[in-house]
Structure formats: structure tokens, C-alpha cells
Structure 1
Amino acid sequence: MAEQKALEDLRVEGDRPDGVVVRDALGVGVAVGLSGFAFGVTSAGSGLTLVQTCALSLLVFTGASQFALVGALAAGGAPLTAAAGAFFLGVRNAFYGLRLSQLLSLTRAVRPFAAQWVIDETAAVALAQPTRRSARIGFVVTGLSLYVLWNVTTLLGGLGAEAMGDTDAWGLDAAGPAVFLALLAPMLKSATERAVAGLAVVLGLGLLPVLPAGVPVLVAALAAPAVLWAQGRRGGDVREGER
């Protein structure tokens, strides 16, 4: 009887009502989608036209890469270097896609369209669900709400920046990095994550005076393998000492 009750409790905990999944997915979509306004302002301040700014959100649709691209351009970086930094940041979405393709198990006809929505937020919501059905609902609701709101707020941010004129005079050039930090900070829960973030900041800021704009972002990406290598080396030394 005790085992049967435990199994029933497990099934109850693992079964999430559709309404709960939709609510959580909408919360993520709305919260992150509003930061599209900051991107619109930052992009306009970097010299991109309103059409170019909106095209980035419509076609690229990965916030980190978009901010990296316009940030490098605003700092005077070459377009090719800026695009390279944005590309390498966007590569992580391909790894999300490998996991989500198994979890969601979508038809071949749908996969090319779903690929546009494979980003940090949709992957996080989908992977947090206990069943395939709830994962699909979370992925679609998060992707749709975030895509629509991100593009609407990008347009509003670009229009607002044009109306204000010089965004640097308003201090809005710092809007993008501020939003980035606000999204990143709550995710740094383990010592390893904090070490990677700290080293990336040191590399990125420390190399700004000596490397072309956009290149420090690429170098900062080496923080993750460097920290993991150091941890592996320390773990090996500890095992050697125990012997």
C-alpha cells in the first residue's frame, strides 16, 4: 500500500495541468519580451536603421547575439568581427536543438519553423516539463509570446530612439548590458558558474583597450573551458594526494 501511494503521489507531482504550463510560459515570454525595447534603443544608437533593427529581431531572434552584434558595432568594431561574435554566441542554440528534437519529437514539416524559436528561454521552459505534451505546450507558448512581444518592443524601442535623437545623451547605451546582467545574475547559482562569469568579465573588460571591438567577446568565451580545465586539474591533484 505504501509503494502504491508513493507511485500515485509521483504521478500527481509529475502531471502539470495545461493551464499551469501556459501561465509559466507566458510569464517567461512577457518578462523577457519586454527587453526587446532595450535592444531597439541600443540598435538605433549603434547606427542601424529602423528596418535593419527590426529585421534582426524578426530573422535572428536570439537576444544575446543581437546585443553582441549592435554592441560591437556601437564600439566601432568591423561588421565582420561583430557578426563573428554574434555567431559564436548563437551556436549554443544548436545544442539546445539537439536535445529539444528528442524531447518534442515534432514532424519534419514543423521542425524548420520551430527552429526559429530554439533559444535559451524556450529550451529552459520545455526542458523543465515532466511530459512531452507539457513540453510542447511550454515551448510553443513561450516561443510565440516572446517572438511577438520581442519584435513589437524592438519596433517601439527603435521608434523611441529616433524620436529622442542621441541615445548616448540619455544614457540608454547602457540599457542593453543592464538587461543582460539582470537576466544573467539569477542564473549564477553554482561556484563554477560564478567563476566562469567572473573570468569572462575580466577577459572582456581587460582586453577592451588592446583588441579591436568585438574580439574581447570572442576571447571571453574561453572562460568556460579554462575554468573547467582548472577544476579538472584540481580534482586530479586531490585524488593524487589521497593516494
Structure 2
Amino acid sequence: MRSFWRTPDEPLSAPAPTGRIPDGPLLRDIALVCLAVGVIGLSYGAVAVTSGFAWWFPVLMGALVLAASSEFLFVGIIAAGGSPIAALLAGLLVNARHLPFGLAVHDVLGRGWRGVLGTHLMNDETVVFALAQDEPERKRAAYWLCGLGILICWPVGAALGALLGSAVRDTDVLGLDAMFPAVILALILPALKDRPLRRTALAGAALALTVTPFLPAGLPVLLAPAALPLFTVRTRKEATR
């Protein structure tokens, strides 16, 4: 666990600091994403309460499920009159993306109880930060720092949102849901300077947008990775030139 606190913005050969978390761009980005997640938690908690759920429900779900998209979907289906079984199955389907996530970051999860906790912390943000790092130690540090930050910010945001929901009946007017995708877009923009990656990302986005009118919420994004072979093919072509 000690290495989590010394590697985010220090070279691997740097001496261990005296218990202080180092500052730097990576920690700043992680903090911004955790803040954005907390703000989205406000919206989630408020939506859950205004949909008829008890105040503690979004807080408990936030800590135990820790998956915003499936939680929003679950609450939305129940609020629309759907059955809990249908809501549960829909949430599991949306979270099916965690299967390839696990294959991509298997080396940072750890073993035993760390592996269980590491799997629980797996989400879009932790995987993005981990895969953006070059060294294994930095990858592990980014994953765990981001995951633990979200584990705190998401339920806390949901709790504050539950209180907000009792005062503001229409939470859509606040536009809280726009903050999270804006932060994620800002984080991935530097990577899109790579031409093959940019073309692949645009192809995946186009595919997801094309099928959105025909598929339930959450499924189009699962089809976006179908564009990944384009990245592999173009990368190989450029490597052979």
C-alpha cells in the first residue's frame, strides 16, 4: 500500500517521502474527476429521492454498487414502473463492460482482499487513469487513488443530493449531469492527438450514436468497442511503413 502514495508524480527511483502525498498533474486530474463524480452524485441522490426512494437508498447503493450508470438506470426503471428484476438485469447488462475492463487492468487489482476491493473500485475513471500510465507502479497508484477517491465522493455526493432532492423537485434545471462527461472529455483530448486512435474513437462514437435510437439506454456504449480493430489495423500499417 505504501507505493500507492509515492508514485503518482514521482519517478520510480525517487526516495519515499515522509508520509505526504505528492502534488502534481496526475493528482490534480484525479481530484477533478472525483469532484465531478461527487457532483453527479448530487444529481443521483436528488433524482432517487424525487422518484420516491428513501434518502438512504442512493447512499447505500452508491457504496455497494459504485457504478453510476447502472444505478441511474435502476432508479429510472423503478421510477417508470418497471419491475426490480428488470432493473437489476438492465444494470448488470450495462456493467458487462467491466469484463473487458478486468482483462485490461488485471495487473493492478492485487490478490486476496486487495483483489476483492480492487475489483469493487473498477469503473470507467479508474480504468482510464490506469491505462494512461506507462510504468506499472504509476498505473497501480493511479487506479487505487482514483478508486478510493470515488468510493468516498460518490456516496457522499448521493447523500447531499438526497437532501437537495427534498428542496429542489426538478434537478434537471441544475445541469449537474453535464459536468462529468465534460471532465472525461477534457482528460482524453490529449490522447486524441494520435491519428489512428482519434479515427477509432470517432468511429466508435458514430457507431454508438447510430444505434442509440434503436437500443435501450446503456447498450450503445457497449457496441462502441467494436471499432477497436480499426485501431489495431491502422497501427500495424503505420508500423510497417
TM-score normalised over the length of structure 1: 0.69
Identity of aligned pairs, percent? 24
Aligned length: 200
Bigger drift between 74-83 and 138-147 goes to: 74-83
Instruction: Please state if 1:154 is matched with 2:163.
Output: no
Query: What does residue range 59-208 of structure 1 map to in structure 2 within 5 Å?
Result: 59-102=64-107, 104=108, 106-164=110-168, 167=169, 170=170, 172=172, 178=178, 182=182, 190-204=201-215
Q: CA deviation at 1:107?
A: 3.0
Q: Output the CA distance in 1 between the equivalents of 2:173 and 2:92.
A: 22
Which amino acid in the other structure matches residue 41 of structure 2? G
Question: 3-state DSSP class of the match of 1:196?
Answer: helix
Query: What does residue range 24-35 of structure 1 map to in structure 2 within 5 Å?
Result: 24-35=29-40
Q: Output the CA distance in 1 between the equivalents of 2:179 and 2:85.
A: 25
Decide whether aligned partners of structure 1 residues 27 and 196 sit closer, same or farther in structure 2, where only a CA change above 3 A counts: same
Decide whether aligned partners of structure 1 residues 151 and 172 sit closer, same or farther in structure 2, where only a CA change above 3 A counts: same
Q: CA deviation at 1:24?
A: 2.6
Q: Aligned Cα RMSD in Å?
A: 3.2
> Any runs of at least 4 consecutive aligned residues in structure 1 with deviations exceeding 6 A, and if so which?
183-188
Q: CA deviation at 1:46?
A: 2.1
Q: CA deviation at 1:152?
A: 0.8
Q: CA deviation at 1:175?
A: 5.4
Which amino acid in the other structure matches residue 137 of structure 1? A
Question: 3-state DSSP class of the match of 1:91?
Answer: helix
- Structure 1's unaligned 5+ residue stretches are 1-14, 205-215, 233-243
Decide whether aligned partners of structure 1 residues 96 and 144 sit closer, same or farther in structure 2, where only a CA change above 3 A counts: same
- Structure 2's unaligned 5+ residue stretches are 1-7, 11-21, 190-197, 231-241
TM-score normalised over the length of structure 2: 0.70
Q: CA deviation at 1:185?
A: 6.4
